[in-house]
Amino acid sequence: MTHQISSKRLSFKDLQHIAHNVTELQLSESSITAINNCRAYLDDNFGAKDSHPTYGVNTGFGSLCNTQIASDQLTQLQHNLIMSHACGAGQEVPKEIVRLMLFLKIQSLSYGHSGISLQVVQRLLDFFNNGVFPIVYEQGSLGASGDLAPLAHLSLPLIGLGEVEYEGTRYTGEEINTLKGWKPLQLQSKEGLALINGTQFMLAYGLHLSIESQKLWYWAHITSALSLDGFSCNLSPFDERIHLIRPHKGQLESASIIRDLLEDSEIAIEEKVNVQDPYSFRCTPQVHGATKDTLDHVIKTVVTECNSVTDNPNVFPESNTIISGGNFHGQPLALALDFLSIAMSEIASISERRIFQLMSGTRGLPPFLCKNAGLNSGLMIIQYTAASIVSQNKQLANPASTDSIVSSNGQEDHVSMGANAATKAFKILDNVKTVLAIELISGAQALEFHNKETSSFLNSLIIMLRETISPYEEDRVMYGDIQLAKEFINYTHLDTEILN
């Protein structure tokens, strides 16, 4: 499916569509005009040997900003910039994140305030449309002055350097150019800086994580509904009247989802002996709802950033101006990603507490949800795994945005650390999915010991789950079941199979 890049504001729904469905990008005529006009302005005003010094165009970078560069060295300046800033380390960035980086860099450059040439943007389009994904590394960005190191790695193949992955095979930049019949680009004034200045590394993570978090938030209600019936809990804490007198939007939505999921459950409506249920069950709307309100803020921030120009300096041909500012600073994303990490960690935290309660051997359930406890340990240790993961999330959720470190001889003296916030959040989300997978297993197993039926929806879900994960009759190796449950969460489409 094709998407046309334009100045039209992208909604979160648009961004989800691009992330999941779009395989080809094209530039609109208005974007082509904006890019060409901006490049022509630079060429007209900075071609002369004695052009006045303008940061990023004919000067050095960072603390070398006062060093003017001769006009006949501007191409070498930009080439050197890409090479010298490609200092990434650590793990390789997942392909789905690199793909979003390409899209977001193209989108930001298309507004015509970066001085990039159409030829460079077209090569980025070629990469996206042909499934050529540069090898980028997780570590190296301070989250201010742009995601310099990751974006330098994204840009290296444009000049015939670095490495890419194409159709499952790794190629050097030179090899992929030969294979595709592309010539290495000769970057003009400011083009290298336009490529590596920007927030597209942390933003790609932010967009991916926003989409994934929204999905996992809904899944947390499905697993908690299984646990609520599995633990014979009261439905009264989900009564709408309670939530209308404390009307946080997320809380109201969370309680409504639980009511819908358990609408025709025989277990939910039967009279209960237990007067109250533990917080991890009856406070689900308050905890899940607070996370939803946080996610709404994160998504708003991410959507704004996706519709922004974040390199520096910015070119305004219509007013004959080049302005050096700080749109590359990642503080909005750093804070948002830290908020997301904290909020989603709480989803796993309360889920693990429900898992713990299901193992307690109370409310008609056998210890550790196994028929012959003692000979069988049942699901005892699966709860340990969840507890270990939740503890790791507590460590990872410590904010990155409260940190800063001086760089570039003091010129870049406050940074956001948004890139670290992004990569930590990525790990946290995978951990959340694992804990929810464990609750899915545990809640379904608890329902094996009930004489009455849960809701028709949850019953249908369990039937689907049982196609790959059978009930626990006696001890067996379970690590594969956790992975199968994660895949079940990954590939069961909420929009068609669950939410409707």
The tokens of 257 are what? 């989802």
Tell how strand 2-5 and strand 24-27 pair up: parallel
Reported for 365-372, long-range contacts at CB under 8 A and 24+ positions apart, including other chains, are: 365/230, 365/231, 365/446, 365/449, 366/449, 369/442, 369/445, 369/446, 369/448, 369/449, 369/472, 370/472, 370/474, 370/475, 371/473, 371/474, 372/474
The SS3 assignment for 138 reads strand
First to last CA, the chain: 25
CA distance 495 to 500: 6
Q: Is the dihedral of CA 173, 174, 180, 186 positive or negative?
A: positive
Longest CA–CA separation in the chain, Å: 88
Active-site residue, from 55, 137, 166, 218? 55
Would residue 55 show up in a list of annotated catalytic residues for this protein? yes
Residue 94 to residue 165: CA distance in whole angstroms: 11
Q: Bridge partners of 92?
A: 137
Q: Which residue has the tokens 């080049």?
A: 322
d(CA 96, CA 235): 40
Annotate 19-56 with DSSP letters as a single string: HHH--EEEE-HHHHHHHHHHHHHHHHHS-STTPPP-TT
- Asked if residues 125 and 106 have their Cβ atoms less than 8 Å apart, the reply is yes
C-alpha 113/C-alpha 325 separation (Å) is 13
What amino acid positions are annotated as catalytic residues? 55
